[in-house]
A = this chain, B = another copy of it.
Amino acid sequence: MYFHAQRYINEIAADEPDPAAANALQEGLGGQFGEMRTMMQYLFQSINFRGAAAKPYRDLIQGIGTEEISHVELIGTTISRLLDGSPRYTGKLTDPLDTPGAGGATPLKIALDESNIHHYLVGAQGALPVDAVGNPWSGSYVYNSGNLPLDLLYNLMLESTGRLQKCRIYEMTDNKTARSTVAYLIVRDQAHENAYAKALESLGVDWNKLLPIPKTNAEQFPEVKELLDLGLQSKQYSFDLEGKSEAGRIFQGMSPSKDGTDLDATEQAPEGVPSTISPERLEEFSPGLDADLMELIQATAEMELADVEAMFGPVAKK
């Protein structure tokens, strides 16, 4: 059973809208080696897991899988923020909003010039379940052979490829919103690389100096360095509400990346930051409430408030 808190797993830095960067990040969300893929792959591997004696491996996979849902939420929100307001229409955006062609251009002209027109046409300046060339995510990506060493080997390769692609995305843009999330995911992918590499170590493999893959100087990227200094590449949260995860039996001891750190699986979850809601975008007819509907929503809220105050007394307004 899954639960939710209205918090993002990491902070997203503020910067200008940047739809090209948003589109590059789509690979990290809906691409073959993105967060939707890891989330679903580990969910299926947990559901179909066999062998009670191997429970610590199941719990390791399940814990990482739970984290990946929060990663989907994080990178999806980052894409949404990079798109939000990007049309920068120079005409007058009032209600009625859609005076055609005011200001010498049309309100959504940008959609014709950017990487994925669907960001404006199918979605409303928000994230989509597709990769950076617009291919929809596919269930055929999910790998779950049912053979433990093979599943672990695949997961190691998957996390390494995700990290490789995010390093490349980092080199494509210097937008701070994009880089803050990309840097965080580079480090967390490395933590997951360590997790699967360690699990394979427990089955006999010695990685010598091969890890992490890719061998990169990503540790010199400022945003990455900051997180490495905090040791985030060697930490694995359980996200387990009842303390039953045995993942710590594997995720412990010297890091297979040989970076001098020890693996640590004792924390339940990071603190995170409060989540927010994006503003309305009239040019997208989003959320699409006219004056009448707004009134209905407002009325509902006030009636509810009245009920609450009737029972508990005056409420401090937000």
Which chain B residue shows the least CB distance to A144? B123
A160-219 at interface with B (beta carbon < 8 Å)? 160-161, 164-165, 167-174, 200, 202-210, 213-218
- CA gap between A306 and B69 in the complex, in Å: 34
Known A-B contacts A204-B208, A204-B210; the reply to A76 vs B44 at CB < 8 A is yes
The answer on a CB contact under 8 Å between A250 and B172 is: no
Cβ of A87 to closest chain B Cβ, rounded Å = 9
Chain copies in the assembled complex: 6
A96 at the interface (CB under 8 A from B): yes
Known A-B contacts A5-B1, A69-B2, A72-B43; the reply to A200 vs B210 at CB < 8 A is yes
Which chain B residue shows the least CB distance to A133? B134
Please give, as numbers and ranges, the residues of chain B lying within 8 Å of A70 by CB-CB distance: 1-2
A255 at the interface (CB under 8 A from B): no
Q: Which of A227-235, A277-285, A309-317 contacts B (4 or more CB under 8 A)?
A: A277-285
Please give, as numbers and ranges, the residues of chain B lying within 8 Å of A137 by CB-CB distance: 138-139
The answer on a CB contact under 8 Å between A215 and B290 is: yes
Please give, as numbers and ranges, the residues of chain B lying within 8 Å of A149 by CB-CB distance: 210, 213-215, 288-289, 293
Cβ of A124 to closest chain B Cβ, rounded Å = 3
- CA gap between A118 and B76 in the complex, in Å: 20
Cβ of A184 to closest chain B Cβ, rounded Å = 13
A86 at the interface (CB under 8 A from B): no
Please give, as numbers and ranges, the residues of chain B lying within 8 Å of A95 by CB-CB distance: 217
The answer on a CB contact under 8 Å between B288 and A147 is: yes
- CA gap between A109 and B8 in the complex, in Å: 28
Closest 3 CB pairs of A and B: A124-B146, A48-B126, A136-B139
Given A101-B174, A171-B283, 7 other A-B residues pairs in contact with their CB atoms under 8 A: A1-B4, A2-B239, A4-B240, A4-B241, A48-B278, A106-B174, A118-B133
